[in-house]
Amino acid sequence: MPKSIIGGWRGFSLTKQIDIATAKPVNTLLYFSGDPIEPEADQFYVNSDEVTGELLPTVHRLLSRKLVGKHKSKAYPHLVGLFASMAMGKDTPTAVGATTAYKHAIAIDKTIVELPYRTMIENDGANQYLYPGIACSGFQLSGSRGNFVEFEADLMGSGVESADATAKPARVAESYLAYGDIKFSKGGAFDGTAITGGTDLSASLLDFTVGFKNNAIGAHLCGDQSGKIGRVQRGNKYAVELKAAFELEDTSHRTDFLAETEFVAYIPIVGGTANGVAKYTVEVIFPRVVYKAAKKGLDNGTLKVGGEFEVLSDPVYGPMILNVINMQAASYLA
């Protein structure tokens, strides 16, 4: 009989694992869209390159397995904090004034090689499995006029799977962030804490995309006969993407492009009240960017400029910082 995903769910551990194999309790529910995840072949061998006297392979072996997939959802601070901290490696939480809200400063940790892991449970509506050793190899945050802010995380796991009967955990009470919450500014100064000055381009902003990849690889360790990934480690270089399209109101984008002007790019996405003066927030800060394209185009008959930016590493603050404000007190990497 056919099976339905109705009744399915996906949860993660708030606490990171001490290693790739040791699972932690799954205690936060994350809604998701798209396909469910399960282990698949990393390398399935057949001897198609050997001369055997036959027209088809004669030998086969499932040499290695992996778990790869995506977590897609409308964006909200808890979701962004959970996965961005895994991908970038550093989370420093501080209290927001006299409130009970916290700001999580998420940044790149250049010292790590092996990525942090969380435990995932997925119920696909038919079966429920536990997957320890889930790492995040990158994420994308995007928004546009009239829509919700979207978030997508790239997941990579060891491929270890076991049947599970854990009860569905609770979801945090955070609303989705929407187009009305988005701002975009260019220029000004960043002192490690706050942005001062700059030009607000929010009214002319059509859409934006922020992407981060640590180019993680899964290592199958020699001597490990399980065939599963024994370590997920970052790549040699990271990749950061920033794109934004604006209504073309003047020549400032082209002027900055031709002059190779470096500036601060700042995208605060500020939702409803978390506690007191604290708002549910995702701030994205790029201390040093420069236009690498500012191409004219059309948007429903009006002129637009498609801005593509080269994100540069600042010697003090790095290439990108995410500030996530919500009611999560402990570090996402505790």
Q: 315: Cβ–Cβ under 8 A, 6 or more apart, which residues?
A: none
Distance separating alpha carbons of residues 198 and 185, to the nearest angstrom: 6
pLDDT for position 57: 96
End-to-end CA distance of the chain: 44
Mean pLDDT within 178-186: 98
pLDDT of residue 154 exceeding 90, the answer is yes
Distance separating alpha carbons of residues 156 and 100, to the nearest angstrom: 34
pLDDT for position 97: 93
With CA atoms as reference, report the closest residue to 208 among 138, 280, 308.
Answer: 308
DSSP 179-239: GGGB--EE-SEE-SS-EES-EE-GGGEEEEEEEEE---EEE--TT-TT-S--EEE--SS-E
Tens digits of per-residue pLDDT, 84-129?
999 999 999 999 999 999 999 999 999 999 999 999 999 999 999 9
pLDDT for position 212: 98
Residue 123 · residue 166 · CB < 8 Å: no
pLDDT for position 3: 85
Q: What is the CA radius of gyration of the chain?
A: 22
Mean pLDDT over the full length of the chain: 96
Tens digits of per-residue pLDDT, 306-325?
999 999 999 999 999 999 99
Residue 232 · residue 242 · CB < 8 Å: no
pTM of model > 0.85? yes
Mean pLDDT within 247-261: 95
pLDDT for position 241: 97
Distance separating alpha carbons of residues 36 and 322, to the nearest angstrom: 28
Q: 318: Cβ–Cβ under 8 A, 6 or more apart, which residues?
A: 107, 108, 110, 287
List the domain boundaries for the chain: 9-39+67-163+174-326
Q: 195: Cβ–Cβ under 8 A, 6 or more apart, which residues?
A: 185, 188, 189, 264, 266, 285
Mean pLDDT within 146-163: 97
Q: 304: Cβ–Cβ under 8 A, 6 or more apart, which residues?
A: 206, 245, 246, 247, 248, 296, 297, 298
pLDDT for position 130: 98
pLDDT for position 240: 97
- Label residue 269 left, alpha or beta by phi (over 0 means left) and psi (-120 to 50 means alpha): beta
Instruction: Give the up-direction half-sphere exposure of residue 183: CA atoms within 13 A in the CB hemisphere.
Output: 15
At 263, is the secondary structure helix, strand, or coil? strand
DSSP 145-190: TTSB-EEEEEEEE----EE--PPP-PPP--PPPBGGGB--EE-SEE
pLDDT of residue 291 exceeding 90, the answer is yes
pLDDT for position 1: 84
Tens digits of per-residue pLDDT, 54-79?
999 999 999 999 999 999 999 999 99
Tens digits of per-residue pLDDT, 129-149?
999 999 999 999 999 999 999
Distance separating alpha carbons of residues 211 and 242, to the nearest angstrom: 7
Task: Please list the residues that pair with 296 across neighbouring strands.
Answer: 305
Kindly state the percentage of the chain with pLDDT values over 90. 97
With CA atoms as reference, report the closest residue to 11 among 173, 163, 168, 176.
Answer: 168
Bridge-based pairing state of the strands 263-275 and 278-299: antiparallel
At 69, is the secondary structure helix, strand, or coil? strand
Tens digits of per-residue pLDDT, 194-240?
999 999 999 999 999 999 999 999 999 999 999 999 999 999 999 99
pLDDT band of 270, cuts 50, 70, 90: very high
